[in-house]
Structure 1
Amino acid sequence: MESAKVQSSPKPPYNNYWVGLDDLKYVPPYLKDVPETPEEMTCVTKGTWPTWLQGSFMRIGAGKYVIPLSEDGSKPPAILQHFFDGLGMLHKFTFENGQVRYISRHTAEGVVRRARREGFLSVTMFGLNANTPLKDAQDPCSALLGAQQSLWIPNGHLEPDAANLNVVPRRGMHLPKDTNPLSRGTASENPEEDEVMVFTDFNMLQVCDAETLEPKRLLTYADIDPELSGYGICAHPPKDRKLGTIYNYLISTEGIMSVFALDFKSKPVKLLWKTPLPCPPCYIHSLAMTQDYVVFIRNPLHMNISDMTRQVMEMIEYEDGETTKFFVLRKSDGQHIATFEAPNFMFFHSVNAYDYIDKSTGDVNLHVDLCSYEGDYVTYREYNLSNVLEPARPFMDATLVRYELSAVNNKADASKIRRATVAQAIPGAPMELPRIRKDMSMVPGYRYVYACAGNAGPSPGTEVTIGRYGNGIKTVQAAFFGCIGKTDWLTGKFIKWQPEDGESCPCEPVFVGRPGSTEEDDGLVLTIVIDRKGTKSILVALDGRDLKEVARADMPQVYALGPHGSFIEGSTM
């Protein structure tokens, strides 16, 4: 009798295996534990830092990947396995009269204390469960459920550093009175100057002292208004400074997805409107905003939480063949006025958006600019440490695409889905972590986008490789991020800055316009690189026009790679 053939499942296009302590030595320094610098210090600089640059450059990133699970070292540590999973760390550079000062602080030490006390790590984990060595060593009858879960849902009062928030610090927002007995410090009467807030892809906000960076308070949007209980939340809520409003989305416990608006200038902040969307819940990282509209772009990704022991990156499932939807809501009242769709793509970051009058029709059109990924490949799955050590294939990068939503003023039924079209794209210029000049937000005809260009791009001369290459990939010297790019919507041209002298891995570029400048690219681009040997990181300022280096400042430590930052003008806090 002939034996039946067993058809094996196709191998995913990324490596997804456990990276233990012995193999961590192959991981680049910017994806490992790094120390903090809790006492502000003056940086050694080179070049000339312009005196007009006055303010603070705040960055949030990872700080710890190896977490002890006992006080005496009797248990193996938890090892976080994904770029997104490193415990949070705040960095601040202060610029004053041509000098640069630096301070940094770990902001999730409560997570570490809880792990030591409980014997397992309880945070949300995109990658493989960091408790794997512990879980495998336990008797299944006595294994703790918490040690097996990848999606951690907190409840009750939390210490201000008892959750891992790892994305963007922003200024302002007058919060309601704090009733959490575990909070620290004193609530500020002047939060715009004295405090920063850290957002993440979860219904939680962290308040930190702007001077010392110490965590002061954890809260949820439900603490602002009970109608905002639930899940979801994007890490990049658009902020309209003129109107004094912030926009975000929420998934209720009943599975209803809504967009909401907050008045952040009111004392305390208040809910303006909340609008349910006629679509299933999904995962998104950012929204888009024009002068008069908010655009929710539904990624063809949904969260399957039927098995809480799965990696979060595997819980987020791709909907093959599903179109990507654009839901247009009016800012003034939150009314859903139009729906568009485009062939299947996904995105992390919106770049900019604006509305304008089409001269040929008199209608109001919207342009929404995104870093767009085509196909059914979910790019964050390749950010495992195992896939950094041994890339299964070249890292994927997004294409800068401008989608046009036409005649949003049309009175047709919003449930009727219209076609979104591609108005423009800049192919051949791989882009991610995009930034623009701040005062060009929502401005029709803006030109320039700055971004990281080329994941795992070449990095000549570096001694910091990103892993043990295999599977036919021939890159010898590379970095997690390759270079900084600048694109021009008007000309379609693309220029880039490649670190020299063996330096590598520039992080997200942040553009700071020169006060009083009239040219859009008249200013500085701030990024951070690691030195040739991987012993320290360097803050670099580039000319926004040609990306030539202007000045640099040495950091006393390695900057563990973090995705985002903000420049806060004026007060040096």
Structure 2
Amino acid sequence: MTLNPHHLAYNIVKIPPPQEDEKDKSDPLERAQVVLQLPSSERLKPSYLHSFGMTDNHFVFVEQPVKINVLKYLSAWSVRGTTYMDCFESNDSMGTWFHLATKDPADYLSSYKFRTSAFNIFHHINAYEDQGFIVVDLCTWKGHDFVYDYLYLANLKGEWEEVKKAAMRAPQPEVRRYVLPLDIHREEQGRNLVSLSYTTATAALRSDGTIWLEPEVLFSGPRQAFEFPQINYSLCRGKKYSFAYGLGLNHFIPDRIVKLNVQTKETWVWQEDECYPSEPLFVPTPAATEEDDGVLLSIVVKPGAERPSFLLVLDAVKLTELARAEVNTIIPVTLHGTYKP
């Protein structure tokens, strides 16, 4: 994020990989560089940002209506004795904006003004280009209220019925597919610009020059979220794909692992009583040719058990258990992880 008296901008930063020369011990972060700046819709109120999308040729940045009040932030602790969380605001009138930029050369495409109804977003699943369109799959929470406001510990450690009531008031989760057309002509105003045969997502040019997007819903259940998504990154990152894996949240409580076919919307589930898994990590089978040929790894917590934590290994095709490695200590519930062979 860059702030100066004239504008506030979101920075996309390029971090080079570590040098192969073992003698070079330099920190890659020291060689990081800002490759692109994207404007904020409000000068002193940037949107909360957790991730962005990339295709082979484009960056996709979603600007959501959950805002950080910079003036409140600068005075939060020293003047007002408040926290970072007290600096968030929700803009109930802006909806959600999609910003588009090219990667090489890095250039913000200011003429593409994509708009849609309000939602919260933390995680992009994947994005790819197909026949003149950019397809973007997201884990969303409907509405402009900030999801974090419903995740305070006081709201989650009460009786289960109270937890469910709080979740009923919160923004509701959906996995959505948005399609952004790259070839837009003014004479096509009001007509659906999306011609891809495999999606019901739409895009329509409005009289004010904005392109209004309506999504295709890929996954939606009553208070059942699909979050912390993973794909076969080595094979499908930035490419058309079929499968996503995620952590299933039941009224915000992580109690299952879910596989989603984004083409057919079919799902597979692993679940066990009193077990709370973490983000599933996909590890492909060496020399695999199929997208879902591999295993999923997840750290699972099972309170009260003789061995209360274990590493779960699932077959990524059917989500059947292959193995588990139990330990005699409690491992805290995790959010993100990585697999290093």
TM-score range, shorter chain: 0.7 to 0.9
Instruction: State yes or no: 1:381 paired with 2:143.
Output: no
Name structure 2 gaps, 5 residues minimum: 20-27, 188-207
Q: 1:450 offset after TM fit, Å?
A: 0.8
Aligned residue in 1 for 2:22: none
Q: CA RMSD in A?
A: 2.6
2:123 aligned partner, one-letter code: H
Aligned residue in 1 for 2:55: 290
Structure 1 segment 297-446 matched on structure 2, within 5 A:
297-304=62-69, 305-306=71-72, 308=76, 309-337=81-109, 338-357=112-131, 364-390=132-158, 391=162, 393-395=165-167, 398-407=173-182, 416-428=209-221, 430-439=225-234, 440-444=236-240, 446=241
Aligned residue in 2 for 1:516: 287
Structure 1: how far apart are the matches of 2:174 and 2:324? 30
Instruction: State yes or no: 1:489 paired with 2:265.
Output: no
Q: 1:311 offset after TM fit, Å?
A: 3.6
SS, match of residue 154 in structure 2: helix
Residue deviations 1:390-445, cap 9 Å, x none? Answer: 24525355211011111258799xx943222314532226311111111211111x
Task: Report the CA distance shift for 1:272/1:283 in structure 2 as closer, same or farther (over 3 A).
Answer: closer
Aligned residue in 2 for 1:198: none
Structure 2: how far apart are the matches of 1:394 and 1:522? 39
Residue deviations 1:316-363, cap 9 Å, x none? Answer: 111113210010010002211223111111111111100111xxxxxx
2:39 to 269, 272, 277: 277
Structure 2: how far apart are the matches of 1:433 and 1:277? 27
2:33 aligned partner, one-letter code: L
Aligned residue in 1 for 2:194: none
Instruction: State yes or no: 1:454 paired with 2:249.
Output: yes
Structure 1: how far apart are the matches of 2:185 and 2:284? 37
1:533 to 292, 299, 304: 304
1:373 aligned partner, one-letter code: W
Task: Report the CA distance shift for 1:310/1:532 in structure 2 as closer, same or farther (over 3 A).
Answer: closer
**Contact 1:398/1:430 (8 A) holds in 2:** yes
2:9 to 257, 268, 288: 257
Residue deviations 1:76-114, cap 9 Å, x none? Answer: xxxxxxxxxxxxxxxxxxxxxxxxxxxxxxxxxxxxxxx
**Contact 2:295/2:316 (8 A) holds in 1:** yes
**Contact 1:510/1:527 (8 A) holds in 2:** yes
SS, match of residue 568 in structure 1: coil
Structure 2: how far apart are the matches of 1:261 and 1:411? 34
Q: Quick one: higher RCO (CA 8 Å, sep 6+), 1 or 2?
A: 1
SS, match of residue 381 in structure 1: helix
Tell me which structure has the larger Cα radius of gyration. 1
SS, match of residue 259 in structure 1: strand
Task: Report the CA distance shift for 1:533/1:350 in structure 2 as closer, same or farther (over 3 A).
Answer: same
Structure 2: how far apart are the matches of 1:279 and 1:443? 30
**Contact 2:277/2:333 (8 A) holds in 1:** no
**Contact 1:406/1:420 (8 A) holds in 2:** no
SS, match of residue 174 in structure 2: strand
1:292 aligned partner, one-letter code: N
1:498 to 261, 271, 276: 271
Structure 2: how far apart are the matches of 1:303 and 1:343? 19
Structure 2: how far apart are the matches of 1:408 and 1:326? 16
SS, match of residue 244 in structure 2: strand
Aligned residue in 1 for 2:191: none
Higher strand share: 2
Structure 1: how far apart are the matches of 2:138 and 2:266? 17
Task: Report the CA distance shift for 1:383/1:278 in structure 2 as closer, same or farther (over 3 A).
Answer: closer
1:560 to 325, 332, 341: 332
Task: Report the CA distance shift for 1:263/1:559 in structure 2 as closer, same or farther (over 3 A).
Answer: closer
**Contact 1:258/1:276 (8 A) holds in 2:** yes
1:344 aligned partner, one-letter code: A
Structure 2: how far apart are the matches of 1:367 and 1:516? 28
Structure 1 length as normaliser, TM-score?
0.47
Residue deviations 1:34-82, cap 9 Å, x none? Answer: xxxxxxxxxxxxxxxxxxxxxxxxxxxxxxxxxxxxxxxxxxxxxxxxx
Structure 2: how far apart are the matches of 1:394 and 1:272? 40
2:259 aligned partner, one-letter code: K
Q: 1:531 offset after TM fit, Å?
A: 2.7
Structure 2 length as normaliser, TM-score?
0.77
2:35 aligned partner, one-letter code: W
Structure 1: how far apart are the matches of 2:157 and 2:34? 47
Structure 2: how far apart are the matches of 1:329 and 1:303? 23
Task: Report the CA distance shift for 1:356/1:257 in structure 2 as closer, same or farther (over 3 A).
Answer: same
Structure 2: how far apart are the matches of 1:531 and 1:270? 41
Structure 1 segment 124-143 matched on structure 2, within 5 A:
none
1:286 aligned partner, one-letter code: S
**Contact 2:11/2:34 (8 A) holds in 1:** no
1:340 aligned partner, one-letter code: F
SS, match of residue 567 in structure 1: coil
Identity across matched positions, percent: 26
SS, match of residue 86 in structure 2: helix
Aligned residue in 1 for 2:192: none
Structure 1: how far apart are the matches of 2:59 and 2:149? 29
Structure 1: how far apart are the matches of 2:214 and 2:327? 45
Instruction: State yes or no: 1:551 paired with 2:323.
Output: yes
